[in-house]
C-alpha cells in the first residue's frame, strides 16, 4: 500500500518480519528460535511464512522452555552465529534471567572483548489485549539496569525495521521489545534494507510549549494527545528515545531547554520505572536552569494488570491522561 510520499505503507508486524527476512537473506548466520514460530508462524504471526522459505534449520521450534531458548541463543552467539530468539510474552522472560543477566550480559566483559554475544531476544510486551497479569507486563527497565544488555523499544513500523536490522548486526545482546498493540499500526517503510543506529532518539513531533518524552505505545498516544492539545493552542514536542540503553539524552535535553517543561510517559509501573531515569537526566543537566515547572511522570499504576478490560484500561496511561497532564503543566496548575 503506497503512502502519500511514495513510500509504501506496511504494518508494524510486517516491518518486523521484513527485517528478519532480509537479515536472514543477507547473512546465513542469522536464524530464529522460539516457541511455535515455525509452521504456526508465531503467537502474533511475526514469522508467518518464514519456515517455508528458510526451513526448519533456520526457523527452529522449541519446547516450552524460555531458559532453553535464551541459553541456546547465548551458546550459538558465542560460537559465531547470530540468533534471534523469541519470547512469546515478555512476562516469560523471567524464566531466562540467569542466561541473560549472568551469562549474555557479562561474557564480553569477563573475556576482555575476546568473546562476543551477538544475539537478539524479541519479545511482545505491554497491556491492552485482555491477557491479564501474567501476559501483559512491561519489564524493560529491569534490563536497562544490567550493564552489557541493550534495550530497544520501537514505536513505529519504520523504527521497528531499522532498529531490528541494527540489533541483529550488533555484537552485543539486545532485548527488542515490541508492543502487542503496535503490531497492526501502519506506516511508511522503505523496501530496501536499512538500519537505525542504536542509542539515537527521535523527535516525532516538534512543539514549543512542552516536551513529552514517551516510549513504545505511549508515543502513538502522545501523538493523538498532541492533536487534541493543538486545538487549544498547545503545541507539544514529542521525543522518542527508541533505545532505552544506550540512550543519547542530548536531543531530549535540548528539547527541554527549548520548551522549559517536561512530561515523561511510559506504560510500566511508576515506581522505579524508566521515567525516573529520564527525569534524573533532565534535572542533572543544563536543562534544569530552564525549567519553569516541575518535571512530571505519567506511568502505569503500581498494580498487576487486571483481566477486566475496563480496569486494564485505567491501569496504564491513555490519551486523555496525557492531555490532562500536559494541559496542567502548560497552564501552570501544579
- Known catalytic residues? 66, 135
- DSSP lists the bridge partners of residue 122 as 86, 176
With beta carbons less than 8 A apart as the criterion, state whether 145 and 111 touch.
no
Residue of 114, 187, 178 whose CA lies nearest to 152: 178
Per-residue cell: 113: 572483548
Of 270, 223, 273, give the one whose Cα is nearest residue 244: 273
Residue pair 107/78 in contact by the 8 Å Cβ criterion: yes
Would you put residue 285 in left (φ > 0), alpha (ψ -120 to 50) or beta? beta
Q: Which helix (H) or strand (E) holds 259?
A: helix 250-259
Contacts of 307 (CB under 8 A, 6+ apart): 130, 132, 133
State how far the Cα of 154 lies from the Cα of 329, in Å rounded to an integer.
27
Distance (Å, rounded) from C-alpha 44 to C-alpha 83? 19
Q: How many residues are given for the chain?
A: 334
Amino acid at each position: 500500500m503506497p503512502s502519500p510520499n511514495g513510500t509504501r505503507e506496511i504494518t508494524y508486524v510486517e516491518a518486523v518480519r521484513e527485517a528478519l527476512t532480509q537479515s536472514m537473506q543477507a547473512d546465513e548466520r542469522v536464524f530464529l528460535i522460539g516457541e511455535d514460530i515455525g509452521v504456526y508462524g508465531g503467537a502474533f504471526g511475526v514469522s508467518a511464512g518464514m519456515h517455508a522459505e528458510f526451513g526448519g534449520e533456520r526457523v527452529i521450534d522449541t519446547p516450552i522452555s524460555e531458559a532453553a531458548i535464551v541459553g541456546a541463543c547465548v551458546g550459538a552467539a558465542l560460537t559465531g552465529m547470530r540468533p534471534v530468539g523469541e519470547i512469546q510474552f515478555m512476562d516469560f522472560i523471567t524464566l531466562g534471567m540467569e542466561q541473560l543477566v549472568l551469562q549474555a550480559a557479562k561474557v564480553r566483559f569477563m573475556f576482555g572483548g575476546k568473546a562476543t554475544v551477538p544475539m537478539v531476544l524479541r519479545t511482545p510486551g505491554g497491556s491492552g489485549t485482555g491477557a491479564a497479569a501474567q501476559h501483559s507486563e512491561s519489564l524493560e527497565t529491569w534490563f536497562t539496569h544490567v550493564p552489557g544488555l541493550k534495550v530497544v523499544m520501537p514505536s513505529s513500523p519504520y523504527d521497528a525495521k531499522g532498529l531490528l536490522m541494527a540489533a541483529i548486526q550488533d555484537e552485543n545482546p539486545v532485548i527488542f521489545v515490541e508492543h502487542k498493540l503496535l503490531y497492526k499500526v501502519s506506516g511508511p517503510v522503505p523496501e530496501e534494507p536499512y538500519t537505525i543506529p542504536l542509542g539515537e532518539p527521535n523527535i516525532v513531533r516538534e512543539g514549543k510549549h512542552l516536551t513529552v518524552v514517551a516510549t513504545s505505545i505511549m508515543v502513538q498516544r502522545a501523538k493523538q494527545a498532541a492533536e487534541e492539545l493543538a486545538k487549544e493552542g498547545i503545541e507539544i514536542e514529542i521525543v522518542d528515545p527508541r533505545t532505552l540503553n544506550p540512550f543519547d539524552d542530548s536531543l531530549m535535553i535540548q528539547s527541554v531547554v527549548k520548551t522549559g517543561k517536561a512530561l515523561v510517559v511510559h506504560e510500566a509501573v511508576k515506581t522505579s520505572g524508566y521515567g525516573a531515569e529520564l527525569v534524573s537526566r533532565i534535572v542533572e543537566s543544563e536543562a534544569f536552569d530552564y525549567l519553569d515547572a516541575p518535571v512530571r511522570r505519567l506511568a502505569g499504576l503500581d498494580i498487576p494488570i487486571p483481566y477486566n478490560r475496563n480496569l486494564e484500561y485505567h491501569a496504564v496511561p491513555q490519551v486523555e491522561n496525557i492531555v490532562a497532564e500536559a494541559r496542567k503543566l502548560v497552564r501552570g496548575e501544579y
